[in-house]
Each structure stands twice: as structure tokens, then as C-alpha cells.
């Protein structure tokens, strides 16, 4: 189908609202001029609201992985012991980065269909006082599983005395779409990217640091330069970035943050939950298995398993080519086993109806037994009962 209308139903990059895209076409300016400095300070202050922190937010020109690396190289010294929670591809990435920079990495592999149990974290921490940091994934976009970050943070207090480990969280595919009140939950560092719930094209990423993390910055000995957050902190005090930032994407960010403020963070969270519930009801009505249960279901992306009589990759291709709806495949060892439906950022209930329509018709065209409209009707029921 030839259409410029986007049905990009992958867990990022996500569709960019027209007004955000228009903002990105403003003429490039001197990134060290007074006008841009004002803008830089403003978006940094607004981002603190999204991270819900009184700490500091640093803006990096780079992919989400750059922000993850910034968290590692600024908060862990070579030889220090860290615990990495691995429940999918992005949990693995924390481990890869920490190892690349010489940390002693302990990986805790939990069931990829579930989140990490806080009680188990408490046990592991109690047994190992040397751990200086716990790396977790808020929303594992490879599986559609959302961790209980509040519980994991509190697990550091279960052993009577608070464990010294920092909690460092990848919320690349959730921040802005799901609650992560950093200070209230006692999370020490959170990273995210521009191209997911924040509705900005890819190219910017963010690191938010609480006081304990800011204190560690100065003591960590890992070699670093482009991602040395000390330089970002110093430059930010003057409203600048240490190196030329992606100026047009900062313009886009300003507009996207205005949209998020107009909607309200809580309303954005509710919209994402509604999309999740509509998609899950629809998929269930179509008889396809959901990868994870209710407890851990992500509000931003849903993984669906293949079924007898349905080959996932040819089905995805058909849905993309015939209906213009782009679903994501499985990553790594999950390739061919699941497809994923992104429902984050600039999307709403009608987009879920459209996605379910394409899925239903794609299933029918693939020879999978399906009653057209059944998934949509189930999703509508959810929407109708939404308060």
C-alpha cells in the first residue's frame, strides 16, 4: 500500500508527530549562542520532570546504547563488581558494555517470560556486599516484559541495612510511557533515548543521575572522553553541550516535551496502558499466545508467539507488504518465535485497531483460522470500559 501514513508498530524508532518534525526544520543555529543556550537549559529542566528527579539530566548526541555506555563508564571503575539482570537482549547489552570496560560482571539470568523477582535480588545482594552497582532493564523491548523497578530498588533495603549498590536502569523503551519516578523509587541512574516514548527522531539519548551517582562520577577511574559525564555536567552549567549537539533534534525535543506536558505524564501512562490492554485482548481473542502474563506485561510493546499453522516471519512480511503495517520480529534467539507490536509514543487506540485489523487479515491470508473482527471487537470492549 502506497501511503505516507505511518503504521510503524515496532518498539522504536516510533512515528514522529508532524509538529515535532516541523520543529526539526528550524534553521540550524550556533550551538554556543545565547538562544540555543536558553533552549538547552529549558529542555534539560523539562527532562528532569519526565525523569521525576531533582538530580541532573545529561543530553548526549548518540543512540540509546551511548547513554547506557555513559552510565557504565562514569559509574563503575575497572575491577569493580556489578550485578547485571538479564531477561532479554538489552539486559545482555548491559553485561557486554560493563565487561568491555573491565568490570567484574555477575549475570543473573532470569526467566525471559518474567521480570526479575525483588526477593531474589535481595538474597543475591545480601550474599555479596562487594557489588557496587545493579544494572536493570525497565522495559525489556525484546520480550515485552516490564520489571518491577520500585521493588528492585527496595530490595536493597531488605537486609536490614541498605546495600551500597547503585541501581542503574535502562528505560530506553519506557520513559515517558510508563511510571519511573526516579527519586521517589530511589533509582540512582536512568538512561533513555529520544526515539521511543519521547516521540523524537533517533539521535539523542539521556542520562539522569541522582546525588549518589553524581558523587561517584568524580571517583570512577574508567578511561572516557566523549561520554565523560563530568564534561557534560560542567558544560550544562553554562547551558551548553561539551561537543556539537544534534541541534535540529533538540528543536524537535522541545516540541515533543511540550506535547507531553500538554497531555500530562499520568495521561500518557494511562494511554499506554490502554493500548497494551487493547492489544492483549485482541491477540487473545484471535487465539495467539502472548509471550508474558499480566503481571509483567509492558505498556509499550507486546510480544506474541507463533502458533501451529503460523510462521512468524512470512506473516510479518505479508502484513508489512500488503497492509503497510510494520511489526517487529524477534531478536537474537527469539527470531522466528515471536513478533512484537510496538505501542509507544505517538500512537493511540485507533492505531491499535488498525494494527489488529492488519494482523487479522494477515492471519486470514496466511491460512491461519481467524474470525475477522474478533480481535478488534475485544479491543473495543476494553476501550469502551476504560475509565
Per rule CB under 8 A, is residue 386 in the interface with its own copies? Answer: no
Q: How many CB atoms lie within 10 A of CB 357?
A: 18
Largest CA distance in the chain: 62
The verdict on 115 binding its own copies (CB under 8 A) reads: no
Q: Which of 74, 142, 195, 298 binds its own copies (CB under 8 A)?
A: 195
Using CB under 8 A as the binding rule, whether residue 10 contacts its own copies is answered as: yes
Name which of 205, 173, 179 is nearest 58 in CA terms: 205
Number of residues that bind its own copies (CB under 8 A): 54
Tell me the closest approach of the beta carbon of residue 196 to its own copies, in angstroms: 9
Element (H, E) at 241: none
| C-beta of 96 vs 159, nearer to its own copies | 96
Ranges within 204-263 binding its own copies (CB under 8 A):
223-228, 242-249
- Which of these ranges, 105-113, 115-123, 162-170, 193-201, lies near its own copies under the rule CB under 8 A? 193-201
- Residues paired with 190 in a beta bridge: 169, 208
What are the CA-CA distances from residue 227 to residues 66, 216, 217 (Å)?
A: 8, 15, 12
Terminal Cα distance for the chain, rounded: 35
Per CB under 8 A, contacts with its own copies among 21-80 are 21-22, 24-25, 27-31, 33, 61-66, 69, 78
Contact between 97 and its own copies per CB under 8 A: yes
CA distance 201 to 18: 11
CA dihedral 234, 238, 241, 243 (to 10 degrees): -80
Nearer to its own copies, 122 or 247 (CB): 247
β-bridge partners, 207: 58, 191
Sign of CA dihedral 359, 361, 362, 366: positive
Q: Which of residues 311-370 bind its own copies (CB under 8 A)?
A: 320, 326, 328
Question: Which residues in this chain contact its own copies in the complex, by CB under 8 A?
Answer: 4, 6, 8, 10, 12-16, 21-22, 24-25, 27-31, 33, 61-66, 69, 78, 96-97, 100-102, 193, 195, 201-203, 223-228, 242-249, 320, 326, 328
Amino acid at each position: 500500500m502506497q501511503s505516507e501514513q505511518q503504521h510503524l508498530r515496532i518498539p522504536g524508532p516510533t512515528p514522529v508527530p508532524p509538529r515535532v518534525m516541523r520543529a526539526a526544520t528550524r534553521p540550524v543555529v550556533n550551538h554556543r549562542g545565547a538562544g540555543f543556550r536558553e533552549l538547552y537549559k529549558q529542555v534539560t529542566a523539562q527532562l528532569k520532570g519526565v525523569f521525576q528527579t531533582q538530580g541532573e539530566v545529561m543530553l548526549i548526541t548518540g543512540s540509546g546504547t551511548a547513554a547506557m555506555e555513559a552510565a557504565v563508564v562514569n559509574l563503575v571503575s575497572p575491577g569493580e563488581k556489578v550485578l547485571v539482570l538479564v531477561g532479554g537482549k538489552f539486559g545482555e547489552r548491559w553485561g557486554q558494555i560493563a565487561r568491555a570496560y573491565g568490570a567484574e560482571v555477575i549475570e543473573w539470568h532470569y526467566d525471559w517470560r518474567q521480570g526479575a523477582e525483588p526477593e531474589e535480588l535481595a538474597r543475591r545482594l545480601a550474599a555479596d556486599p562487594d557489588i557496587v552497582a545493579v544494572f536493570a532493564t525497565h522495559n525489556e523491548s525484546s520480550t515485552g516484559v516490564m520489571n518491577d523497578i520500585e521493588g528492585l530498588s527496595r530490595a536493597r533495603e531488605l537486609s536490614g541495612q541498605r546495600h551500597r549498590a547503585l541501581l542503574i536502569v535502562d528505560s530506553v523503551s519506557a520513559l515517558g510511557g510508563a511510571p519511573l519516578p526516579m527519586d521517589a523509587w530511589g533509582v540512582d541512574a536512568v538512561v533513555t533515548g529520544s526515539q521511543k516514548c519521547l516521540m523524537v527522531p533517533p539521535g539523542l539519548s539521556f542520562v539522569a543521575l541522582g546525588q549518589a551517582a553524581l558523587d561517584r562520577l568524580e571517583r570512577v577511574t574508567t578511561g572516557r572522553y566523549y561520554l565523560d559525564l563530568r564534561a557534560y555536567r560542567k558544560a550544562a552549567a553554562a547551558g551548553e553541550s561539551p561537543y556539537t549537539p544534534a541541534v535540529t533534534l533538540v528543536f524537535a525535543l522541545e516540541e515533543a516535551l511540550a506535547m507531553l506536558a500538554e497531555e500530562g505524564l499520568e495521561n500518557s501512562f494511562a494511554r499506554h496502558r490502554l493500548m497494551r490492554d487493547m492489544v492483549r485482548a485482541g491477540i487473545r481473542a484471535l487465539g495467539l499466545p502472548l509471550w508474558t502474563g499480566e503481571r509483567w506485561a509492558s505498556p509499550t510493546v507486546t510480544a506474541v508467539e507463533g502458533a501451529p499453522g503460523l510462521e512468524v516471519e512470512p506473516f510479518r512480511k505479508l502484513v508489512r507488504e500488503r497492509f503497510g503495517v510494520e511489526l517487529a520480529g524477534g531478536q537474537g534467539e527469539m527470531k522466528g518465535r515471536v513478533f512484537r507490536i510496538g505501542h509507544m509514543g505517538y500512537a493511540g487506540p485507533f492505531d491499535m485497531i488498525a494494527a489488529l485489523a492488519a494482523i487479522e487479515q494477515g492471519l486470514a491470508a496466511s491460512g491461519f483460522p481467524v474470525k475477522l473482527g474478533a480481535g478488534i471487537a475485544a479491543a473495543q470492549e476494553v476501550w469502551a470500559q476504560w475509565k
